[in-house]
């Protein structure tokens, strides 16, 4: 599976064993446990199926098995980040502890395998000031090349200005923020749970697309114009809705319909094209990839696998067979990631 470029997979997950155990403790002991956590980790953590077992084992491996899987699929490098819901399901004290623990474990693995692994810093948004300091530690001391945020934090979203020290730190350091899915928050999850749609089949995309669009309309990218946000799964559907989002946003601002909406410096689609990067995680589908490359620009679309949740080596070949020029294919698999993550 050699190729005239490196295959860099840009949304690949891990989980410290201590954090997995902490999830179990919440599920077993907290009568008010988040229903999304109970659904997700009740399955991944304890379901006896071969799929669930393989995922939880692979998540906790930052060594030989992961590298063997990469070799089998032809992946040269993984951009590795803390799995969902990460630290963000805990109270602030536990969240801070888990962020530091996860970052130290990932940094040690990157040091052992510097040619194969690159890390993103985990944070606990529950404490924005600590989160900003942990971003700085991750970048300046641990050598990380970005930040992972697993969407909502105990049902709160980052359009609330109290969280904006996180974006201030990321922009100042020139490090991108990966906004990764979580199950829908408590106020929205009930109809998804009732239909089995709360996770990657649909709920993840709805929840994270909502979150990213909330950041746009709140003016985050006016306040932090150099901030770069990464969305997986071909943009959580937002690229496909860009025209209508622009139209309805302009109409609503022009009519003064929502008093908390402000006139933005750019349209939502311009913000996406200038401040967003899109990965293909779990979506090796040629028509969709080509569409997103067209509307976002080929410099802003990157390959990802979504390891270990969708570890299907054949999908690497599917991605390589997407019609594009040789120069664009190098960008897609290698050079866009090298530029974004400063590899």
DSSP-based helix, strand, coil % in the chain, nearest 5: 55, 10, 35
Q: Is 306 a catalytic residue?
A: yes
Locate all alpha helices (DSSP H) within the chain, ordered by sequence: 17-29, 35-44, 50-59, 64-73, 92-112, 128-140, 164-173, 186-195, 203-217, 220-223, 242-255, 268-275, 286-296, 314-320, 326-330, 336-341
Is the bond preceding residue 85 a cis peptide, omega within 30 degrees? yes
Contact yes or no for 61/108 (Cβ under 8 A): no
Q: Are strands 117-119 and 121-122 parallel, antiparallel or unpaired?
A: unpaired
Is the bond preceding residue 179 a cis peptide, omega within 30 degrees? no
Per-residue pLDDT of the chain (343 residues; tens, 9 = 90+): 689 999 999 999 999 999 999 999 999 999 999 999 999 999 998 999 999 999 999 999 999 999 999 999 999 999 999 999 999 999 999 999 999 999 999 999 999 999 999 999 999 999 999 999 999 999 999 999 999 999 999 999 999 999 999 999 999 999 999 999 999 999 999 999 999 999 999 999 999 999 999 999 999 999 999 999 999 999 999 999 999 999 999 999 999 999 889 899 999 999 999 999 999 999 999 999 999 999 999 999 999 999 999 999 999 999 999 999 999 999 999 999 999 999 9
CB atoms within 10 A of CB 263: 10
Instruction: Kindly name the residue from 76, 222, 306, 326 that is annotated as catalytic.
Output: 306
Sequence spans of domains, the chain = 8-18+56-238+269-341
The contacts of residue 273 (CB under 8 Å, 6+ apart) are: 295, 296, 297, 300
Architecture of the 8-18+56-238+269-341 domain: Alpha-Beta Barrel (3.20)
Residue 336 corresponds to which tokens in the numbers above? 């866009």
Residue 27 corresponds to which tokens in the numbers above? 């599920």
């Amino acid at each position: 599976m050699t190729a005239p470029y490196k295959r860099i997979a840009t949304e690949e997950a891990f989980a410290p064993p201590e954090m997995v155990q902490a999830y179990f403790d919440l599920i077993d002991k907290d009568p008010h446990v988040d229903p999304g956590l109970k659904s997700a980790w009740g399955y991944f953590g304890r379901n006896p199926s071969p799929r669930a077992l393989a995922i939880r084992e692979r998540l906790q491996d930052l060594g030989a098995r992961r590298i063997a899987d990469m070799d089998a699929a032809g992946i040269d490098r993984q951009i590795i980040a803390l799995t969902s819901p990460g630290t963000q399901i805990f109270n602030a004290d536990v969240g801070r502890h888990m962020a530091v623990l996860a970052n130290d474990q990932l940094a040690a693995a990157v040091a052992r395998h510097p040619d194969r692994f690159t890390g993103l810093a985990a944070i606990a948004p529950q404490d924005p000031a600590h989160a900003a300091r942990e971003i700085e530690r991750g970048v300046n001391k641990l050598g990380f090349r970005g930040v992972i945020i697993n969407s909502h934090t105990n049902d709160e979203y980052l359009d609330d200005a109290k969280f904006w020290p996180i974006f201030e730190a990321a922009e100042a350091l020139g490090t991108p923020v990966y906004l990764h899915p979580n199950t829908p928050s408590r106020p929205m999850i009930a109809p998804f749970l009732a239909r089995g749609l709360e996770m990657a089949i649909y709920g993840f995309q709805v929840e994270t697309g909502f979150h990213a669009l909330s950041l746009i309309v709140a003016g985050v990218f006016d306040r932090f114009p150099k901030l770069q946000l990464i969305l997986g799964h071909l943009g959580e559907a937002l690229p496909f809705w860009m025209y209508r989002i622009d139209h309805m946003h302009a109409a609503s601002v022009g009519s003064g319909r929502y008093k908390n909406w402000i006139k933005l410096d750019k349209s939502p689609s311009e913000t996406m094209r200038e401040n967003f990067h899109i990965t293909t995680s779990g979506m090796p589908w040629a028509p969709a990839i080509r569409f997103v490359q067209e509307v976002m620009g080929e410099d802003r679309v990157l390959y990802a696998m979504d390891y270990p949740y969708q570890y299907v080596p054949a999908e690497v070949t599917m991605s390589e067979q997407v019609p594009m020029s040789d120069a664009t294919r190098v960008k897609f698999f290698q050079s866009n990631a090298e530029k974004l993550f400063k590899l």
